[in-house]
Amino acid sequence: MKILVPVKRVIDYNVKARVKPDHSGVDLNNVKMSINPFCEIAVEEAVRLKEAGKATEVVVVSIGVQQTQETLRTALAIGADRAILLQSDDDLEPLAVAKVLKAVIAEENPDMVIMGKQAIDGDNNATGQMLAALLDWPQATFASKLELVDGGAHVTREVDGGLQTVKVSLPAIVTTDLRLNEPRYASLPNIMKARSKPMATKAVGEYGLDLAPRLSVKSVTEPPKRTAGEIVESASELVEKLKTAGVLS
């Protein structure tokens, strides 16, 4: 079984994002970048399936600038076998990403695609679903547990009422949630080994796809700063102030 894992390079989750002075987007200059946390979980799950003897190859793919090689090397250090970098200077929308991934899947012919449910920069939570629709493959989203059973996959997902388990036939798209696993730290020997693992590089334009954006960003601003709190002497004073503020009626 071959597993394809798309990954994305994003601002590190420990870094506070800064807005550009012209409010056209987020400033990425001199900012620490890392693998998207949900994508890292997807890589870990694919590697675990390989270690359990249920998968034979794990291929990671990413769309982005040349520096995205670092993100792919991280995935290779976790345990992926090889990587594919699709170079693009544009920040593609979910539909465009899904179209590119569909073209990659046609070349690689994987048995399963495991990917993060969303990226922490755009928070769109759409690429996996769009990819499944374009491929006409079954999908199981927000996976908190994944088991391969009888030529298919049993996926447990968290819903409002508790847990739901669905069965999908393969090939299928599975998107990962936080509780699926805890990714390992890449050891120094594995980081060194990742440097020698194969990484193919292609230009997104080679696929001849319509990747024109459907959305435009009008303005990006920081959230309003929180005002200082106020200490009250009693519960009755608190209720009175809430009434004055219109919170209570």
| CA end-to-end distance (rounded Å), the chain | 61
Element (H, E) at 176: strand 172-176
- pLDDT tens for 82-122 read 999 999 998 899 999 999 999 999 999 999 999 999 999 98
Q: Go through the domains of the chain in sequence order and give each one's CATH number.
A: 2-215 (3.40.50.620)
> Which amino acid is residue 83, in one-letter code?
A
> Is pLDDT above 70 for 230?
yes
> Which amino acid is residue 200, in one-letter code?
A
Exposure of 146 by Cβ count < 10 A (0-12 exposed, 13-18 middle, 19+ buried)? Answer: buried
What is the SS3 assignment for 186? coil
Name the DSSP letter for residue 233: S
> Is pLDDT above 80 for 245?
no
Please give the model's pTM, rounded to 2 decimal places.
Answer: 0.87
pLDDT of res. 61? 97
- pLDDT tens for 73-93 read 999 999 999 999 999 998 899
